[in-house]
Structure formats: structure tokens, C-alpha cells
């Protein structure tokens, strides 16, 4: 039996038309549609917890796109094609595939030593200052041959997918020197072409200052600005990113790079106010950034600016957990009506998380999102953070059939049963891409 639904949820029911043909049908589900309430927009404030639940619901797709959703046995009026995949999921939760809006999947080498030193007291930014941290991953990644790097990223993508991720952002950022960044972006582009899930590539140009530019910061910033021409011409990235932090890059010095990127049609996203309040949230919002990420130390002014601009705050509880700094307080963001998304921030330094279910549980336990808010933050709001708010993140006619079936009849388990293998079946664009052997 269902265990307590907090309050009545809006139900959108599609009228099945005789012409509706399907090649994928999932029925008998507790369906979380996350259907738009009024207009296509990230959810904020009081509606940031609306999941659009349909009990005994179904969803049907054809050629990778959702054609209809409904309740009960109305799916019987659908026309099914010969090879239709039909699943009766017996009360289990079916929901949109997760959108992981912030990852650094493209790297070689792990940072076990640094992890160990930090756990015995060393500070993240001082390790970086001494040429370790990001720089050590840069060395390992530069040394990795294309095929080696591709194999590593493929394995991580498969891990994310098995845990329900159907859309994922992948940043460069472990090249630093533009030529090496371009190599990594070209490899990410190859993966984007072959992957079963949707990859959103980001040029993380200003992640750390390469050693040889220590006396010439301006020179480095000029170089990355020049690289934008190639990035745009070869369509290697949808967005650009920078690490704006004390002792790393200052907002003012990154501004010309961001402005140039925006002129070329690239979206903006930034690592801001992660360890210190550097006014990064307000800065990103004013530049029209699509998202401001980390924001654990963002000021009240910063939050107001994000809300006003509609910039999505991407909370990354995994890095707060692994590094051990104070996590972002989600309630401040929800109360200020800032759109909130969550992501794994998968990277070898601050967050080795691969799957969104762990990020959801951590967002609830560490940041104080309700389980429902965390689910919104991992689906529809995260889709907006990647400029895909009208393509995925909800089970609605016309969207990509990105669907996850959980091994539970209560979605709150995602936040509650940390580490439990809850993801049972995963469909990306209507194709089954992962399934637990016992499903």
C-alpha cells in the first residue's frame, strides 16, 4: 500500500487517441510526471516539491519520444507495434531519468593520496596552491592517451547510467592549456556522438592557472578567450565554466572571457562561493549565467540576484561531504525562490559520486531539501540548468522518453535509503539502457 502522500498533487491525464502508437509502454506505475504546472520553468518556492503523481499510471513512447501518459487501463486503447516493449511494474515508481547537471567525468588518475592527507587535516585550497589537487589530475590526464581517456569516461558514463542518469553534463577542465582542453573537448564530442544518453559538454576553461602563467595571468585569460573561437566553430561545448574562488580566479578577471563566450552563443555556468563568499552568485546572475554551482557560501544578496535572474543554483552536496566543508543550506534557496538543482559534481578531487540517488540522499540529509524537492532538483530543475527544460526532466507528451523505474513504491526511498540499489530499469530516448539482473 502507498505510504502517505503529503498532499493532493495535480494530475494531468492525456486523452488516448486512436492514432497513438507506441513501441514502449510502462504501466501499473506510481508515475511521477513532474509535468509543468503552468509554463515551462524551473520550480521554485512552494511548488518546488510538486511531483505530479499519477497512481496506477502509465507512460507510452514511440521512436524515443513520449506519446501519452494516463491512468489505469486506458493504455489498452493504444495501438502497439509488433515489437513493443511492455512492462507492468506493479506499483513501483516510474519517473523521469535523472539529469546530472555538473560533472568532471573527463580525467585520468585517482587522488587517493590527497584524500588521505586531507582527511588527516590538510586543506583543499592549500593542496592546490602547492601544485597538487587539480594540478595532479591535470598531469595524469595530459599523459593519458585518447583511447585510455575515452575508456575511462565510457566506464564512468556506464556507471552513471546504471544509476538512472539519462542526461549528463561533462566538463573539460583538466587540460588547462587550451590545446589540451580542446583535445579533451573533442574526446567528449566523440562520446556525445556514441553515447546512449544525452551529454552536454562544457568548456571549463578557468579551473586553475597553469604553472607557466603564474607571472602572466592576463596572458592565460587571453589564450582561453582565443580558444573560444575554435570551441564555437567546432561546436565543442554548449557552455563555459570557471572556478571563481579565493586564490584561484577572481570574478573581475573572468568577466571578459564570459562576456566573449556569451557573444558566441555559449551559455554560462560557474563554480562560485564554494569555499568562500566571493560574491560569485550575484556576479554569475548579473552576467545572465544559466546556473551558479556550489554556492554553499553565497550571501543573501547573491540569493536575491539568482532569484531575480532565474539562474539555477546547482547544489553539490557530494563535495561538501567528501571535503568536509559546511554544505549549502537548501532552505535559504527555497525560501528566496531560487530554482534549485542538484548534481554529483563527479570528480577525483572533491566528489567521487557517480550516481544521482546518492546526490539526492545527500541533498536531503546534508542540505535539508525534502525528498520531493530533491527529486525536482534532480530532474526538471536540473534539465533547466542544462537548457533542456523543454526536452527532458518530465514525463510529458513530446519529451524524450527518459524514464527510470525504481525498486520501490515510494520515491522518498531515494532520499532515505542511502546507498540502496533502487534503480531497476533505465530508458534513454525510449531505449532500455540498463536493467538490474533480477528485474
CB of 280 to ligand NIG, least distance (A): 12
Nearest Cα neighbor of 429 from 64, 59, 162 is: 64
Q: Judged by CB under 5 A, does residue 345 bind Fe ion? A: yes
- Give least dist CB 204 to Fe ion, A: 8
Contact between 133 and ligand NIG (CB under 6 A)? yes
Of positions 33, 44, 49, 137, contacts ligand NIG by CB under 6 A? 137
Decide: is 33 part of the binding site for ligand NIG (CB under 6 A): no
Locate 89 and state its grid cell: 511494474
Number of residues that bind ligand NIG (CB under 6 A): 13
For ligand NIG, the binding residue among 319, 358, 379, 429 (CB under 6 A) is 319
Residue by residue, DSSP assigns 171-203 as: E--S--SHHHHHHHHHHHHHHHHH-SSEEEEEE
Residues with Cβ < 8 Å from 276, sequence gap 6 or more? 245, 246, 297
Q: Of 26 and 295, which CB lies nearer to ligand NIG in the complex structure?
A: 295
Q: Tally Cβ neighbours within 10 Å of residue 201.
A: 24
Binding mask 58-97 for ligand NIG (x = CB under 6 A): ----------------------------------------
Number of H helices, E strands in the chain: 15, 16
Quick one: cell of 357? 540517488
Run of H or E residues at 270? strand 267-272
269 binds ligand NIG (CB under 6 A): no
Phi, psi dihedral angles at 83 (to 5 degrees): -95, 20
In the bound complex, what is the minimum distance in angstroms from residue 345's beta carbon to ligand NIG?
5
Which cell numbers in the block locate residue 195?
553515447
> Which residue's CB comes closest to ligand NIG?
349
* Binding mask of the shown chain, residues 321 to 360, with x at each position contacting ligand NIG by CB under 6 A: ------------------------x-xxxx----------
Cα(52)–Cα(202) distance, integer angstroms: 31
Give whichever of 89 and 176 is closer to ligand NIG, judged by the CB atom.
Answer: 176
The grid cell for 211 is 604553472
Query: Contact positions toward ligand NIG, by CB under 6 A?
Result: 104, 133-134, 137, 243, 271, 274, 319, 345, 347-350
Query: Contact positions toward Fe ion, by CB under 5 A?
Result: 345
Amino acid at each position: 500500500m502507498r505510504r502517505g502522500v503529503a498532499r493532493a498533487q495535480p494530475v494531468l491525464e492525456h486523452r488516448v487517441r486512436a492514432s497513438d502508437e507506441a513501441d514502449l509502454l510502462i504501466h501499473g506505475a506510481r508515475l511521477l510526471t513532474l509535468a509543468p504546472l503552468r509554463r515551462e520553468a524551473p520550480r521554485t518556492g512552494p511548488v518546488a516539491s510538486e511531483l505530479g503523481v499519477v497512481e496506477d499510471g502509465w507512460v507510452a513512447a514511440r521512436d524515443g519520444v513520449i506519446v501519452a501518459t494516463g491512468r489505469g487501463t486506458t493504455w489498452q486503447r493504444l495501438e502497439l507495434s509488433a515489437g513493443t516493449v511492455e512492462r507492468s511494474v506493479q506499483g513501483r515508481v516510474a519517473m523521469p531519468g535523472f539529469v546530472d547537471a555538473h560533472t568532471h567525468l573527463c580525467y585520468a588518475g585517482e587522488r587517493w593520496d590527497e584524500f588521505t592527507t586531507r582527511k588527516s587535516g590538510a586543506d583543499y585550497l592549500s593542496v592546490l596552491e602547492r601544485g597538487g589537487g587539480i594540478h595532479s589530475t591535470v598531469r595524469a590526464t595530459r599523459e593519458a592517451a585518447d583511447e585510455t581517456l575515452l575508456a575511462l569516461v565510457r566506464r564512468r558514463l556506464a556507471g552513471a547510467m546504471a544509476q538512472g542518469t539519462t542526461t549528463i553534463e561533462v566538463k573539460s577542465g583538466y587540460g588547462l592549456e587550451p590545446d589540451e582542453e580542446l583535445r579533451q573537448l573533442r574526446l567528449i564530442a566523440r562520446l556525445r556522438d556514441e553515447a546512449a544518453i544525452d551529454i552536454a559538454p562544457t568548456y571549463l576553461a578557468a579551473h586553475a592557472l597553469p604553472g607557466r602563467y603564474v607571472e602572466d595571468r592576463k596572458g592565460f585569460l587571453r589564450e582561453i578567450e582565443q580558444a573560444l573561437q575554435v570551441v564555437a566553430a567546432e561546436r565543442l561545448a554548449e557552455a563555459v565554466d570557471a572556478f571563481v574562488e579565493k586564490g584561484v580566479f577572481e570574478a573581475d578577471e573572468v568577466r571578459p572571457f564570459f562576456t566573449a563566450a556569451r557573444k558566441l552563443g555559449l551559455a554560462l555556468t560557474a563554480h562560485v562561493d564554494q569555499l568562500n563568499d566571493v560574491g560569485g552568485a550575484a556576479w554569475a546572475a548579473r552576467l545572465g549565467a544559466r546556473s551558479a554551482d556550489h554556492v554553499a557560501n553565497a550571501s543573501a544578496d547573491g540569493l536575491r540576484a539568482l532569484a531575480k535572474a532565474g539562474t539555477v543554483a546547482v547544489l553539490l552536496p557530494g563535495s561538501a561531504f567528501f571535503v568536509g566543508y559546511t554544505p549549502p543550506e537548501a532552505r535559504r534557496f527555497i525560501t528566496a525562490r531560487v530554482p534549485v538543482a542538484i548534481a554529483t559534481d563527479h570528480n577525483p578531487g572533491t566528489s567521487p559520486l557517480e550516481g544521482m540517488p546518492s546526490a539526492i540522499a545527500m541533498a536531503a540529509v546534508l542540505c535539508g531539501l525534502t525528498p520531493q524537492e530533491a527529486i525536482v532538483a534532480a530532474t526538471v530543475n536540473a534539465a533547466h540548468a542544462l537548457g533542456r527544460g523543454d526536452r527532458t526532466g518530465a514525463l510529458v507528451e513530446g519529451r524524450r522518453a527518459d524514464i527510470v523505474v525504481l525498486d520501490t513504491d515510494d520515491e522518498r526511498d531515494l532520499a532515505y535509503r542511502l546507498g540502496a540499489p533502487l534503480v531497476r530499469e533505465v530508458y534513454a530516448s525510449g531505449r532500455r539502457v540498463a536493467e538490474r539482473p533480477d528485474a
